[in-house]
Amino acid sequence: MGKAVAHAQTLDVEVKAYSERAHTEPLASLRIEYNSKRHGFVLSINKILIPIPQRWGLMLGDIANNYRCALDHLAWALVTRGEKPPGTLSGNQRRKIGFPIKDLRSEFNGELRAGTLLPGVRRADVAKVRSRQPYLRGTKGSRHHAFRVLADINVGDKHRTIQPVWDAPRTPTTKSRTKGTACSRPSRGTPKGNLSR
């Protein structure tokens, strides 16, 4: 986990430096066109002037993999002190041990009943793992749970996809002009942090 923390700190420093540069130099050249079918203007990026380093995606994948491994080591430790230690399990059962990250209570309970991810884990430990599940945030909130984001990045990285990384404004706004009046309002669905994937 130390490697993940070190990479995360390095990435944080680089992103902050990039963001500082972005405040003084334009990030991209823009083009504005009127779209008659939509009766509005379309803002397009012509060219990115300050490219985002590709290594950020690789670092993010490495960070996610290390954090995910730490959770799986925790699951192994919980199984080891439970009713069915790994030595009593078949090779296939041992390979399936892992920290569950579930968006639905029924999925989590199904894993417990099947005994695949946490076979023989004590009830108190199951309660602690349950208390960290994304499904506790509801259907919409589970997508943004740290473990759900971690799992999504990790799965994408395992399948050899370089994780895209970009800088998003802290308070994004869109500007439109309707019948001679300009308005500015917060964009919906745009991430509020500095890093998005």
Q: Is 117 contained in some domain?
A: yes
Q: Is 152 contained in some domain?
A: yes
Tell me the C-alpha to C-alpha distance, in Å, between residue 44 and each of 20, 41, 140, 166, 177: 23, 10, 30, 16, 16
110-149 confidence digits (pLDDT tens) = 999 998 899 999 999 999 999 999 999 988 888 889 999 9
DSSP assignment, residue 174?
A: E
Provide the number of structural domains found in the chain.
Answer: 1
DSSP assignment, residue 143?
A: G
22 neighbors 167 (Cβ within 8 angstroms): yes
User: Rounded mean pLDDT of the chain?
Assistant: 80
- Full residue range of the structural domain in which residue 72 is found: 56-163
For position 190, what pLDDT does the model report?
Answer: 41
Q: Is 97 contained in some domain?
A: yes
Q: Is 31 contained in some domain?
A: no
72 neighbors 6 (Cβ within 8 angstroms): no
85-101 confidence digits (pLDDT tens) = 999 999 999 999 999 99
For position 182, what pLDDT does the model report?
Answer: 42
For position 196, what pLDDT does the model report?
Answer: 39
What span, in angstroms and rounded, lies between the C-alpha atoms of 184 and 85? 60
Q: Is 154 contained in some domain?
A: yes
What span, in angstroms and rounded, lies between the C-alpha atoms of 3 and 66? 7
Side chain identity, residue 185: R
CA-nearest of 165, 147, 129, 135 to 54 is 165
Q: Is 72 contained in some domain?
A: yes
65: enclosing H helix or E strand = helix 55-80
157-171 confidence digits (pLDDT tens) = 776 655 565 555 555
pTM above 0.85, yes or no: no
Q: Is 153 contained in some domain?
A: yes
Q: Is 38 contained in some domain?
A: no
